[in-house]
Amino acid sequence: MRYSIWALVSVICLGFHGNMLAAQELPSVVVKNIAGQEITWPQELPAQKTVVILAYKRAQQEDVEGWIERLGFGSDGPYVQVLMLGRGARLARGFIDGGLRSAFDAQQQQRTFTVYVDAKVLNAPLQVADTNSVSVFVIDRKGRVLAREAGAPNAARVAKIKKAM
């Protein structure tokens, strides 16, 4: 699992650079969700175009759920949520992942990924300037970023993400 997450981080860092959202294809990477299933990204994302929601703090779960609801997704919708927990949380990984498994239904568990690395590793290449809000991306199965937004869902942000889907 540790190597899968680092491979994911490496792939994302290589796929996004400079001041642009890459239209490049990301190479395949195997990741594990909190249900314990290994999945190859981006090919096995839930849909041809998947909403990827990055959250950094427990308090942001309300925004994550708001995005899922405002986009009209059920627990099996075309999304994944990536919880950026930081390196320090690795010691509590079993406790955290276990708590998340008990809080989410089976379909949500399949769409939830916990990442135990410093947020800067993803923030710089993804141009995420602020961890005080969630970041939302639409990514296709070739790994291309089709749209991005940050913050709580509002009409304009939701419309932009829906348009890219």
Question: Taking the mean position of all CA atoms in its chain, how far away is CA 62?
Answer: 15
Is the domain spanning 2-164 CATH 3.40.30.10? The answer is yes
In the chain, what are the helix, strand and coil shares in percent, each to the nearest 5?
Answer: 40, 25, 35
Length of the chain: 165
Taking the domains of the chain in order of start, what are their residue ranges?
2-164
How much is the pTM?
A: 0.79
CA proximity to 100, closest of 111, 46, 54, 119:
111
**23-71: pLDDT as tens digits:** 334 445 667 789 988 888 788 999 999 999 999 998 999 999 999 999 9
pLDDT at residue 93 above 50?
A: yes
Q: Say which residue, 98 or 147, is predicted with more confidence.
A: 147
